[in-house]
């Protein structure tokens, strides 16, 4: 019985040795896994640092490109504004020429109307003079008419007296 127990103990000792060996292998696997995870983690950290660096570089390039585009846009806007201002100036100069021409035409018309007005004023003065002369002539004619009528009446009277004398 003791030999059976010894055999069982030896068998248990063998199993214990096998378990210890398996435990050692498990620890080695865990160590290997931990080393691989650590290496993988380091690789991931390095990759993350590279990606972050690339992102920062790309962001810097993008910012520089945006600033350059903003400067170019400002220059283009300024150039267009200058062009628009030149066009507006030309339009305004044309407007001034047109208004100056219109003003000259109006001044010419005013001079023409003033000359016509002066001519009409002279005719009115002539008319007033002729009208005054006519009024005087009408007065003279009325006076002559009265004298004529008076003389005619005297003539009629004298004829009548002559007729009376001849009878």
Tell me the C-alpha distance between 97 and 107, whole Å.
15
CA distances from 158 to 11, 28, 149, 167 (A): 205, 184, 14, 14
In this model, does residue 158 exceed pLDDT 90? no
Report the pLDDT averaged over residues 27-35.
Answer: 88
**pLDDT confidence tier of residue 3, bands split at 50, 70 and 90:** confident
H-helix or E-strand spanning residue 167: none
In this model, does residue 119 exceed pLDDT 90? yes
Helix spans in the chain (H):
2-166
Mark 10-31 as b/e (b = at least 16 C-beta within 10 Å).
eeeeeeeeeeeeeeeeeeeeee
Phi and psi at residue 159, to the nearest 5°: -65, -45
**pLDDT confidence tier of residue 100, bands split at 50, 70 and 90:** very high
- At residue 105, the pLDDT reads 93
- At residue 97, the pLDDT reads 93
Report the pLDDT averaged over residues 79-99.
Answer: 88
- Mean pLDDT, the chain, rounded, equals 88
Q: Could you tell me the two tokens for 105?
A: 């035409």
CA angle 27, 31, 37 (to 5 degrees): 140
Does this model's pTM top 0.85? Answer: no
pLDDT digits (tens, 9 = 90+) for 36-88: 888 888 888 999 899 999 999 999 999 999 999 999 989 888 888 888 888 88
Q: Could you tell me the two tokens for 13?
A: 């000792």
CA distances from 72 to 43, 58, 125 (A): 42, 21, 77
Please report the sign of the dihedral spanned by the C-alpha atoms of residue 6, residue 7, residue 11, residue 17. Answer: positive
**pLDDT confidence tier of residue 156, bands split at 50, 70 and 90:** confident
Tell me the C-alpha distance between 147 and 37, whole Å.
156
């Amino acid at each position: 019985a003791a030999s059976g127990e010894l055999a069982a103990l030896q068998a248990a000792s063998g199993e214990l040795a096998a378990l210890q060996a398996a435990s050692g292998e498990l620890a080695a696997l865990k160590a290997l896994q931990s080393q691989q995870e650590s290496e993988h983690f380091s690789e991931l950290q390095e990759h993350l640092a590279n990606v972050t660096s690339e992102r920062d570089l790309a962001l810097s390039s993008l910012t520089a490109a945006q600033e350059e585009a903003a400067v170019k846009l400002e220059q283009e806007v300024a150039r267009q504004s200058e062009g628009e201002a030149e066009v507006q100036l030309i339009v305004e100069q044309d407007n001034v020429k047109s208004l100056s021409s219109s003003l000259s035409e109006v001044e010419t018309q005013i001079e023409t109307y003033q000359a016509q007005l002066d001519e009409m004023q002279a005719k009115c003065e002539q008319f007033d003079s002729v009208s005054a002369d006519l009024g005087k002539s009408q007065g003279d004619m009325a006076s002559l008419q009265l004298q004529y009528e008076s003389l005619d009446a005297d003539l009629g009277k004298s004829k009548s007296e002559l007729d009376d004398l001849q009878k």
